[in-house]
Structure 1
Amino acid sequence: MAPSRCGMRVRISLAVIGIIVGLAVLGVFGVKFKNWSAAIWGAISGVFAAVTLYVHIQYIRDIWKTFFYKLKYLMYTGCFVQLAGVCGFIVYLTLGIVQKIVFTEFYGENYYLTCVWCFMTWKWGFALFYYSRSYRRLYEDTYLISNQEE
């Protein structure tokens, strides 16, 4: 089923917010707090929010109607990003526990903050996978129905 107009506005708004926050995290945690691992994961999160925004915009422009098979590669990319986010989350959580990092310390490497941005990266990987898959299914169904009518 095709998303409503309001639903598309919400999806696009959330992706734009994800891009802005990802870039802000790069500046704040990288420059101000010198927590480069959280800054890089925040930037990666923003990049995949931008890719998700691209998927939504291409859907609105009906580009996927012609090239819906390309959504498969975006689905694979989303799966890979989810895997990277989960692995990063587990690694940084383990490092934080083993090294007894304090939750409230923001300056320097704080692995718990990095865990948050690994989770956000996982979230955008999941969103990329989910929306690419749903748009692909929508166009596959439409394409198959139109071919059967001929």
Structure 2
Amino acid sequence: MSDNVASRNSLICRGIYSFIGILIGLSVFISWLFFIEPKTDASIHISLSGCLSGVLAAWNFVTHLMHLKDYWRTWLRGLKLFMLIGAFFMIVTAAGFIAYLVLGITKSEKLTVASFYIASVWCFVSFKWAAMLLWHSRSYRNEFADLTVLLDF
């Protein structure tokens, strides 16, 4: 019984962490899009990377919420879809991270508020959320592995 309570508490902590990630991603999107001056290409890319980070955090939040409400038992294919989404965005954000670093180096930018280096940082944060989406979806799917064997018959 205490294991179930501990896992429920850790699941609630994961959900809170994901919700905070949503708020931070949204605030980065709004801040860099509307309030950071001067408007450069990098500031737009930073705001979009922050938005992507918030969206991936929202997917994590939904994953934890659905596990908390025990909805995955009826939609196990959804976990596979979430795993594919996590893997896809891991590849996309890793490519973005490298591209922004290369842009920052080739343009000889200094580390400022609106530089491609900050955009690469937000791509890394988005990569982290995509990796967490893949990891948690996979762990929840493995938790129901015995159920999928029964559904195959």
Residue 72, structure 1, aligned to residue 80, structure 2? yes
Contact 1:69/1:136, CA 8 A, preserved across alignment = no
Work out whether residues 25 and 54 of structure 2, in 8 Å CA contact, stay in contact via their aligned partners in 1. yes
Match status 1:140 vs 2:124? no
> How many pairs align?
143
Unaligned runs of 5+ in 2: none
Identity of aligned residues (%): 33
- Alignment RMSD (CA, Å): 1.8
Distance between the aligned counterparts of 1:41 and 1:120, measured in 2?
A: 9
* Residue matched to 2:130: 125
Q: Tell me whether 1:101 sits opposite 2:109 in the alignment.
A: yes
2:73 is paired with a residue of what secondary structure? helix
Indicate whether 1:32 and 2:28 are aligned: no
- Residue 71 of structure 2 corresponds to 63
Cα displacement string for residues 27-55 of structure 1 (whole angstroms, at most 9, x for unaligned residues): 11111123110000100110110011001
Match for residue 113 of structure 1? 118
User: d(CA) in 2 for partners of 1:14 and 1:84?
Assistant: 23
Moved more, 27-36 or 56-65: 27-36
The offset of 1:143, in angstroms, is 4.4
When normalised by structure 1's length, the TM-score is 0.89
Runs of 4+ in structure 1 deviating by more than 2 angstroms, as ranges, are: 141-144
Q: Please, what TM-score do these two structures have when normalized by structure 2? A: 0.87
